Amino acid sequence: MGILKDILEARVLVTGIEYSDNTAFDGQAEISFTPFPFLDIHGGYRFLKIDVEEDDVKFDFDNSGLYVGLTISF
């Protein structure tokens, strides 16, 4: 969603799949500030969760937290 003529934006992205008690989810929510057309400052929260079990092998990964980023385009 663009606010203030796309100078300030809010973004949300969530994807996931679940199959036979196995799951994988990835998501993020962020705020982006673009003071100039070539500069983007953004930050938000991101999570990644993977839980897969097959035969006697189990893979369980969970990572989440805040982040800050800077994008320069030309």
Q: What is the pLDDT of residue 15?
A: 97
Please check whether residue 17 is in contact with residue 24, taking contact to mean a CB–CB distance below 8 angstroms. Answer: yes
Q: What is the pLDDT of residue 64?
A: 96
CA torsion angle 38 2 26 45 (round to 10): 80
Q: What is the pLDDT of residue 21?
A: 85
Ordered per-residue pLDDT tens for the chain, 74 residues: 677 777 899 999 999 999 988 999 999 999 999 998 899 999 999 999 999 998 888 999 999 999 999 999 98
